[in-house]
Amino acid sequence: MNSFKSHFNLNNNKGDIVKKRRHMGLVPDVSTHTKTGGKTVPEMWKAKHSNQKVKSLLNNGSGHFTLNDVEVKQIEKEFPPVKYDPHHPKKLGNTGITLYYDETSQAPAIKI
């Protein structure tokens, strides 16, 4: 059986415990990443949206775009419970984007 000192490798130069993968945090600490502000969600868990207008709305944080029929079908496929209805606006998951019918352009649109 290993001794306590050899198990935790306390004989290294700094004298501290070697961090193993299971002991490390899932996300980098915000305080140590001042330049980027830290990552709250790992890149591998972020949703990959195929519609360019949805991507630009999420990146900008505001705005609106009119859509054609192909883009509406693409959004319905990407966000399964959403079905376009001109009379009732629909939220696209937890993105904060709303799919609605724009009266001024007489076409479906999305806004944030």
Which tens digit of pLDDT belongs to each residue from 69-94? 999 999 988 888 888 999 999 998 88
Which of the two residues, 57 and 4, has the higher pLDDT score? 57
Long-range contacts of 67-75 (CB under 8 A, 24+ apart): 67/107, 67/108, 67/109, 67/110, 68/107, 72/99, 72/108, 74/50, 75/51, 75/99, 75/110
Residue 95 exposed, middle or buried by CB count within 10 Å (0-12, 13-18, 19+): middle
pTM: 0.58
Cα dihedral 87, 92, 94, 98 sign: negative
What is the rounded CA–CA span in Å between residue 64 and residue 91?
Answer: 14
Compute the average pLDDT of residues 5-17. 56
pLDDT score of 89: 94
Reduced to 3 states (helix: H, G, I; strand: E, B; else coil), residue 65 is strand
| 3 state SS of 49 | coil
What is the pLDDT averaged over residues 95-105? 92
Interval 13-67: pLDDT, tens: 554 555 555 655 555 555 565 565 555 667 677 777 778 888 888 888 889 999 9
